[in-house]
């Protein structure tokens, strides 16, 4: 049975998004940065995962989000987090897959991201989707200082081999994106 559903974010979700952001990152995005992505950036898309009844966490809350840009031929994954109690259920993978499908539908052919060199869980996630390391930016991150690993998926190839309707994806349901 589906545990969660993915849908586009609205500004009403901002308090919940900030709570997760602050719990997950040592140098979290600020409210202003989140607001800009939710409402001021024409390239930005913001997806949420929400629990479905019977909910293990507050039914009105969110359990994960993904912010990404589609800039011409490129999908740029900008920010991704899943609350601790809902990890290892495929939610991050479903969010990224949804972003890649949406990018492909807008003619993107490549996906890129930067990630802390120390973030092994995230590396494993992106590698499981076919991303590979392309370069390193030394000391790119602060608090604590860390290198950035640049990863890319070029060309975008989904597990299904093609963009497919997301409904029926294991573990969750997807509401159509606007």
Ligand X SMILES: CC(C)(COP(=O)(O)OP(=O)(O)OC[C@H]1O[C@@H](n2cnc3c(N)ncnc32)[C@H](O)[C@@H]1OP(=O)(O)O)[C@@H](O)C(=O)NCCC(=O)NCCS
CB of 134 to ligand X, least distance (A): 15
Q: How far apart are CA 112 and CA 152, in angstroms?
A: 4
Q: Return the beta strands (E) in the chain as ranges.
A: 4-8, 44-51, 64-71, 74-82, 110-116, 132-141, 146-153, 172-174
Based on CB atoms, which residue is closest to ligand X, 32 or 88? Answer: 88
Among 102, 113, 24, 47, CA closest to 70: 102
Using CB under 6 A as the criterion, what x/- string covers residues 20-49 for binding ligand X? ----x-------------------------
Tokens 């409904």, located at residue: 167
Q: How far apart are CA 104 and CA 161, in angstroms?
A: 12
Work out which of 17, 111, 115, 174 binds ligand X, going by CB under 6 A: 115
Phi, psi angle pair for 90, to nearest 5°? 85, 10
Candidate ranges 113-121, 132-140, 147-155, 157-165; the one touching ligand X (CB under 6 A)? 113-121
> 118-157: which residues touch ligand X (CB under 6 A)?
119, 121-122, 124-125, 128
**Residue 82 makes contact with ligand X by CB under 6 A:** yes
CB of 125 to ligand X, least distance (A): 3
**Residue 88 makes contact with ligand X by CB under 6 A:** yes
Based on CB atoms, which residue is closest to ligand X, 35 or 114? Answer: 114
CB of 83 to ligand X, least distance (A): 8
> Reduced to 3 states, what is the DSSP secondary structure of residue 21?
helix
Phi, psi angle pair for 18, to nearest 5°? -65, -35
Candidate ranges 68-76, 98-106, 116-124, 150-158; the one touching ligand X (CB under 6 A)? 116-124
């Amino acid at each position: 049975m589906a545990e969660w559903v993915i849908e586009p974010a609205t500004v009403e979700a901002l308090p919940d998004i900030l709570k997760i952001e602050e719990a997950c990152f040592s140098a979290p995005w600020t409210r202003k940065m989140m607001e800009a992505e939710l409402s001021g950036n024409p390239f930005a898309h913001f997806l949420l995962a929400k629990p479905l009844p019977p909910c293990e966490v507050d039914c009105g809350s969110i359990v994960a989000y993904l912010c990404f840009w589609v800039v011409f031929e490129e999908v740029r994954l900008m920010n991704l987090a899943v609350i601790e109690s809902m990890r290892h259920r495929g939610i991050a993978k479903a969010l990224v897959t949804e972003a890649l499908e949406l990018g492909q539908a807008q003619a993107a052919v490549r996906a890129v991201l930067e990630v802390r060199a120390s973030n092994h869980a995230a590396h494993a996630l992106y590698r499981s989707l076919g991303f590979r390391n392309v370069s390193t930016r030394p000391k790119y991150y602060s608090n604590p200082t860390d290198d950035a690993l640049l990863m890319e998926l070029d060309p975008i190839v989904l597990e299904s081999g093609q963009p497919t309707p997301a409904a029926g994806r294991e573990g969750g349901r997807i509401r159509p994106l606007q």
